Amino acid sequence: MRLSIRKGFSFGLTSGIITTLGLIVGLHSGTHSNIVIIGGILVIAIADAMSDALGVHVSEESENKHSTKEIWESTVSTFLSKFVFALIFIIPVLFLQLSTAIIVCVIWGLSLITIFSYYIAKQQNVKPYSIILEHLIIAIMVIMITHYVGDWIATFD
């Protein structure tokens, strides 16, 4: 896989998973509403994917060392991976009881991060456990913080 595509894919995958998990968990603890969570996932999948793709695009341009083709490869791969990895979390919410769907989403998201972190570690010839642990700790912190923010927001109702 070309470096420009791999960069966009890895950014989109990680951002798509962590951002969407944070949103889902926060909205669940704040509203307990399927429709609000589904709407949030759709917004993240579209708006945040486009925003992140533009951010990657501008970042790659500002380095002034990539060809136009490489910049667009990173941009498109960021958008597509963020869009897909955010959107997959809608499936459990559509088909499972909401509390079960949240658990499934968290397990699924953390599993994907673990698998991708393992892949990164193997690419770098380093021990996987430290990279996996680092990435999981960050993801779990996001999940916990957004849960408590959702609880706090619910007190305003």
Q: What is the pLDDT of residues 127-148, one digit of tens each?
A: 999 999 999 999 999 999 999 9
* pLDDT value at residue 84: 97
Which residue range is the domain that position 46 belongs to? 3-154
> How many domains does the structure of the chain reveal?
1
What residues of the chain score a pLDDT lower than 50? Answer: none
Instruction: Please give the pLDDT value at position 76.
Output: 96
The two tokens of residue 57 are 């695009």
Euclidean distance between CA atoms 2 and 24, whole angstroms = 32
Q: Tens of pLDDT along 109-125?
A: 999 999 999 999 999 99
Residue 41 structure tokens: 């996932």
pTM (two decimals): 0.92
At residue 157, the pLDDT reads 74
Q: Which residues contact 141 (CB under 8 A, 6 or more apart)?
A: none
